[in-house]
Amino acid sequence: MAHLELIKFIAMIIALIALINFPFIVKRRKDFVKYLPGIFFLIITFVAEGFEEIFFHELFAIIENVSLLIGVILLIFAALMELDVISIEIKHIKLNKKKKIKPLNRQ
């Protein structure tokens, strides 16, 4: 049984690393923005599963199941948007907006 808990803990760490890296991926490939909500909810599933064993078993079990359901539904919508079955407009937000600073005219 200890091996199963270790595997769950490792899966939670890998999921958190994926969540940390995802904004950098979106910065390079803007078309992955549609997958962000689904992936976020799946990460919540892995984290809730890790905390479920430690404390508040019933609460984290509910959070785990609800976030898994929402995450899978959002990923299905993202895949359908990718295949052009559903057409929903997503306005991309530039992640690295930089203001241009005017040079000072010193005379």
pTM, two decimal places: 0.62
Distances (CA, A) of 106 to 76, 100, 103: 58, 18, 9
What per-residue confidence (pLDDT) applies to 95?
A: 46
Give the residue extent of every domain in the chain: 2-82
Q: pLDDT tens across 38-48, in order?
A: 888 888 887 78
Choice between 94 and 16, residue whose per-residue pLDDT is larger: 16
